[in-house]
Chain A
Amino acid sequence: EAGVAQSPRYKIIEKRQSVAFWCNPISGHATLYWYQQILGQGPKLLIQFQNNGVVDDSQLPKDRFSAERLKGVDSTLKIQPAKLEDSAVYLCASLLDNAYNEQFFGPGTRLTVL
């Protein structure tokens, strides 16, 4: 079974530029999450999708971050414009069945904002 795919793996941009990350969850997983992991901290949820609908985006900085999952499969997270404090690893995770609550994580995208 293929795991959660993310691209790119690494990205370096300058502040005020835009960037987009892509995630393809495990086939059949209805729930998709984006987490932000700042160096030295645990991951923090940014947004949760159930199919193509948003379940929780309370921690998403909506003035600069946006995310979509138009067809209920893969997802894109965008930052526009980026700030220095956005430097982090962005992790995507997917979940098959809430009864087991096991989220499967992708390798992450490491973003450096200069």
Chain B
Amino acid sequence: AQSVTQLDSQVPVFEEAPVELRCNYSSSVSVYLFWYVQYPNQGLQLLLKYLSGSTLVKGINGFEAEFNKSQTSFHLRKPSVHISDTAEYFCAVSNQGGKLIFGQGTELSVKP
């Protein structure tokens, strides 16, 4: 069975500082990996995805993530965060069936 663990439930950071949101997954088969962002009272928006190929994936809003198969990780990074990045971030895994399995979420709080 597939599962996702987001290692930090809350990450406070100051504006313009770098941030890393950690995600580990478990799966016995090849997977696709995703990061979604959820702003208050809104649905989920895709930040980036890993399907195959280059292990460094670039997404929207300056975010990037690195797929590490040996560590079964897919950590999300941004070199300099803005106040507007304050939101809940979800890591998710799926197989070709399309069903997404989400982690518990990481609340990113950017302070001025």
Contact = CB atoms under 8 A, between A and B. Distances in A.
Interface of A: 4, 31, 33, 35, 40-45, 48, 55-56, 91, 93, 95, 98, 100-108, 110
B43 A107 contact: yes
Point out which of A35, A56, A103, A106 has the most chain B C-beta atoms below 10 A from its C-beta.
A103
Contacts, number: 62
Contacts of A56: 97, 99
Instruction: Report the contact-size class of chain B (Cβ under 8 Å from the partner).
Output: 20 to 34
A107 B41 CA distance: 7
Contact of A91 (B34, B44, B94, B104): B44
Interface stretch (B45-53, B61-69, B70-78): B45-53
B98 interface: yes
Point out which of A35, A95, A101, A108 has the most chain B C-beta atoms below 10 A from its C-beta.
A101
A95 B90 CA distance: 18
A43 B97 CA distance: 17
A93 B90 CA distance: 15
A105 B98 contact: no
Given A43-B90, A91-B44, A108-B42, 8 more contacts: A40-B105, A42-B103, A43-B100, A43-B102, A55-B97, A100-B51, A103-B100, A105-B43
29 contacts: A4-B43, A31-B98, A33-B98, A33-B99, A40-B104, A41-B105, A42-B102, A42-B105, A43-B44, A43-B102, A44-B102, A45-B100, A55-B97, A56-B97, A91-B43, A93-B44, A95-B98, A98-B96, A100-B51, A101-B34, A103-B46, A103-B100, A105-B43, A105-B45, A107-B41, A107-B42, A108-B42, A108-B43, A110-B41
